[in-house]
Amino acid sequence: MKKLVAALAAAAALYSFSASAQDYPTQPITIVVPFSAGGPTDTVTRLIAEPMGKALGQSIVIQNVTGAGGTVAAGQVAKAEADGYTVLMHHIGMSTAPTLYKNLPYNPLEDFATVGLVTEVPMTIIGRKDFEPNTLQELVDYAKANKEKVTYANAGIGAASHLCGMLFMEAIDTQLTTVPYQGTGPALTDLVGGQVDFMCDQTTNTTGQIKGGQVKAYAVTTGERLASLPDLPTTTEAGLDMQVSVWHGLYVPAGTPDDVVQKLTAALQTALKDQNVIDRFAELGTTPVAQERATPEAHTETLSSQTELWKPIIEAAGVSAN
Amino acid sequence: MDLLANLGLGFDTALTLNNILYCFVGVLLGTLVGVLPGIGPTGTVAILLPITFTFEPVTALIMLAGIYYGAQYGGSTTAILINLPGESSSAVTAIDGYEMAKQGRAGPALATAALGSFFAGSVATLLLAVAAPPLVNIALKFGSAEYFSLIVLGLIASVALAHGSIIKALAMIVLGLLLGMVGQDLYSGQPRFTFGFFELYNGINFVSVAVGVFGVAEILRNLESESTRTVLVSKVENLWLTKEDFRRIVSPILRGTGLGSILGVLPGGGHVLAAFASYSLEKKLSRNEAEFGKGAIEGVAGPESANNAAAQTSFIPLLTLGIPAHPVMALMIGAFIIHGITPGPNVLTDEPALFWGLIASMWIGNFLLVVLNLPLIGIWVKMLTIPYRMLFPAIVAFACIGTYSIGLNAFDIYAIVVLAIIGYVLIKLDCEPAPLLLGFVLGPLLEEHLRRAMIISRGDPMTFIERPISAGLLAVAALAIVLSLLPSIRKKREEVFVEED
Amino acid sequence: MTSQKSMKDLLAGLIFIGFGLAFGYASLTYEIGTALRMGPGYFPLILSGVILLLGVVIFVQSLAAGPDEIPLGRVPWFGLILLTGGLIFFGVTVRGLGLAPSLFVATFMSAFASERTSVVGAFLLATALTAICILIFIWALGLSLAVTGPWLRF
């Protein structure tokens, strides 16, 4: 028994031996995913983790820390040691949290250093199969005419579908009836079942239903058409000035040494060139960001401009989590 | 016959040596992990999901499905042996299953669960193959108004869960409903009863409630009488079912299968109700109603069959619409995506081998499950003869890690402590924990659907009566109340007659 | 209990009344709304009212009911404190100390909660269980939990 204890102690001492930033990484790196395993953000993370680990010469471990729209995970990483071994994957929610949650225990812009953007997942505006309007313009006219008789489904406070809906209502300057759901699954079920009129969600969640003809698709919310849905016009083409995508990025706690961040950025850029990553992203209806966007500078720029963009929209909609 | 050709294709795919092997590995791993206290099916699938990433899509999904029902069965095993349900559905199994175990009849209880699950799984899988599209069309008719009425009916029927005071059971249901309100309000974002902790925004974890009010509270109960009892079960009677047992479980299994198959198709909370509904039904129909809650084998047979049937038919919304009915199905969607398959109605036409292979493998998986588990019963029952003072720290250790590993949230552990104390005190005061758990699971759904139905109808409560399915369900609920009052009226009348005689 | 009333029901009634008051009080701080446009406080407030009412009924009935058939019995205070203390310790330290030390202390405390387990016995049991758990969860299942945490790094 004594031997075992001694061995345990020795192992612990070995394990906890920390190395300087130059040798980074000397132990497995943890990427914290703020949502549960199997969701879109988790999928994106797992796809890039393997090639990133290869580039860094260390294995990457994925941890799913769930709760409060991803703020529990972000709070944990903000408090973690700034040694580059704890990395956070987060999406657009990073820029909306400060407005949605008034007592947020961290500041996204100050408590984190950015590593780089990963991908920008487009969103699609879709309606129930028997919904009257057939094009985006008809939808806008219909919404303006019927106002709060029109129901818009979303996947809960702070979800991408919630943000897209707020943006849509702002763009057409009309208040519709918002129907929140506990996640995308139930919202999509009710849309397919014709219980609600329309919604807007990530291509990851909607491509299958659009292709299967179970919902009517109106537009994709990015500047370019999608390879997976080439017939679907963009919002701009359809005459609506509104663009939104669910961007994902990697973060480390503020104070992480610059050369460590550089190594992570380089690994991310390598991973985004990986053919398997490109292929799988395409199946998700998205692409890796361009190399110059997978940098701390571009990421910080996106984070701060998005934080500015969402603040007035969320405040105007009068939603707040506390 | 299209169906035969399709099933032929399915079995062709599923019966390759490789796929059988991985189906078996999935079922085995699922059972072994699911049997750990504090880890339910959702936890098991989440933990084992990454293992499947490296396989071929068909193989991966077959294995994952195997893991899922393996875990489901493993969860029932823990519910029966140590009163620790891993998922809401097995909470019902714990009521009579654990009583049976304490009486030395863990063997028959486990065998009933295995046989009932196998039968229900086979029937529900067939249903899935034959009637998935029409069933899903019915499911899509269910909007929030219908779900609200269904849950009301479920809550009224569930009073049968109690075997003691009905009014205490009602109070426990309401307490469960209130505990279910903890967390961020879906509609306004307002955090409720969270004391300002972000960690509580997602609400209290189901596993924490189950481990607290069932597992740890039960350990405290056992510590009371430690000086007189050293092992949980002193005598173990036969491992297998008697003829009488067989006679008693046949109808409950049939009814449970039917009920579970139907409720499982409903993505908005139907599968949650399956086991509870089956238990209530069996108790009402049984001639030995008094035995329920004290180790009635029907109370294991019905809910276990319902539970497993619902587990199979809950694949229907996933496979036909690409929409997940519950967290496990959401994980499956993730697996589809990782393997480059876009889940949705096109899976059936684009990937027929995968679709039918998965269905065929479900049947094979259920078969392997029963083959695997019947011999294991002896080992599980042996575990009960471990001295209790060694068994319970193990339960605590596994429950700690299991609960923590789900979301890496320490609050899930603190919730266990609070709920264990509440549960222990209330159980000591003869209040039963099962109704509390039911309320906890259904509470958020009840509020969510009620408020959503009102938003969609724009504040018109008539929506519940104007929609025919909803009205029908509410009528049945009203009938159930009348029927439950009748016996007491009749009894009083009989008493009067007795006096006259 | 010498009094001619059901102590169990009396206490249960009081507890439910307590829950009703506590939840009801908290619900009042949220927006209530109306029956047609419910706010976040509406549903919990109604439930609090119901449980309060049920609590009162149980309380009143207890005064009329006879004494309990089975008395309340003792509370294993020692076990209760050690068991819950162990769980809390685990929750507080699992991130900082890591799984192995945190789990070891937690299982040691809960093992010692049994009157029949000695210090040595609890120590052996805790060591064995910690080893088994690490084997199962870290080695076999590959959970991403640190075996030793940052508090132990130098």
* Ranges of each domain in chain B: 2-500
Tell whether A210 and A259 lie within a shared domain. no
Tell whether A102 and A37 lie within a shared domain. yes
List chain A residues with CB under 8 Å of B344. 207-209, 211-212, 214
Judged by DSSP in three states, B297 sits in coil
Tell whether A286 and A180 lie within a shared domain. no
pLDDT of residue B255: 92
The answer as to whether A263 is a domain residue is yes
Percent of chain B with pLDDT over 90: 8
DSSP C15-66: HHHHHHHHHHHHHHTS--B-SSSB-TTHHHHHHHHHHHHHHHHHHHHHHHS-
Tell whether A93 and A171 lie within a shared domain. no
Contact call for A8 and C100, based on CB within 8 A: yes
The answer as to whether A228 is a domain residue is no
The answer as to whether A239 is a domain residue is no
The answer as to whether A208 is a domain residue is yes
Contact call for A16 and C131, based on CB within 8 A: no
pLDDT of residue B500: 43
Q: Report whether A52 contacts A268 (CB < 8 A).
A: yes
Which one of A4, A14, A15 would you mutate to disrupt binding with C, by most C Cβ within 10 Å of its Cβ?
A15
By Cβ distance, the residue of B199, B340, B448 closest to A280 is B340
* CA atoms within 13 A of residue C108's CA, in its CB half-sphere: 13
Q: ipTM for the complex?
A: 0.91
> Rounded CA gap, A101 and A93, in Å?
11
Residue of chain C with shortest Cα separation from A32: C144
**What type of residue is A169?**
M
Judged by DSSP in three states, A111 sits in coil
Q: Sorting pLDDT into bands at 50, 70 and 90, what band is B257? A: very high
The answer as to whether A229 is a domain residue is no
pTM score, two decimals? 0.82
Span of A187-196, A253-262, A265-274, C142-151 with lowest mean pLDDT: C142-151
| CB count in 10 Å sphere of residue C67 | 13
List, for residues B357-415, the tens digit of each pLDDT value: 888 888 888 888 888 888 888 888 887 778 888 888 988 898 888 888 877 788 889 99
Neighbours of chain A (3+ CB pairs under 8 A): B, C
Task: Give the H/E segment covering residue B274.
Answer: helix B270-285
Contact call for C144 and A4, based on CB within 8 A: no
List, for residues B286-342, the tens digit of each pLDDT value: 877 778 888 888 889 999 999 889 888 888 877 777 777 677 777 777 777 777 676
B325 vs B467, more confident: B467
Residue of chain B with shortest Cα separation from C10: B429
Q: How far is B309 from chain A (nearest CA, A)?
A: 21
Highest mean pLDDT (candidates A10-14, B119-123, C29-33): B119-123
Tell whether A172 and A275 lie within a shared domain. no
Q: Per the structure block, which two tokens stand in for B413?
A: 């552990």
Tell whether A85 and A13 lie within a shared domain. yes
pLDDT of residue B461: 85
List chain A residues with CB under 8 Å of B189. 100, 157, 319-322
List chain B residues with CB under 8 Å of C54. 167, 170-171, 174
List, for residues B475-491, the tens digit of each pLDDT value: 988 887 777 666 655 55
DSSP annotation of B341 reads -
Task: Give the H/E segment covering residue B317.
Answer: helix B315-321
Residue numbers of the domain that contains A192? 123-220
The answer as to whether A230 is a domain residue is no
Tell whether A74 and A114 lie within a shared domain. yes
**What type of residue is A119?**
T
pLDDT of residue A320: 55
Contacts of residue B246, defined as CB under 8 A and 6 or more positions apart, other chains included, come to none
B64-75 burial code (b ≥16 CB/10 A, e <16): bbbbbbbbbbbb
Which one of B401, B414, B426 would you mutate to disrupt binding with C, by most C Cβ within 10 Å of its Cβ?
B401
Contact call for B456 and A46, based on CB within 8 A: no
List, for residues A78-129, the tens digit of each pLDDT value: 887 788 888 889 888 888 888 887 777 888 888 888 888 888 888 899 999 9
Instruction: Report the DSSP beta bridge partners of residue A61.
Output: A30
Q: Is B167 touching A (CB cutoff 8 A)?
A: no
Q: Sorting pLDDT into bands at 50, 70 and 90, what band is A10? A: very low
Contacts of residue B311, defined as CB under 8 A and 6 or more positions apart, other chains included, come to B68, B69, B72, B121, B124, B264, B271
> Does C1 score more than 60 pLDDT?
no
By Cβ distance, the residue of A65, A76, A208 closest to B343 is A208
Overall domain count for chain A: 2
pLDDT of residue A198: 92
Residue of chain B with shortest Cα separation from C85: B417
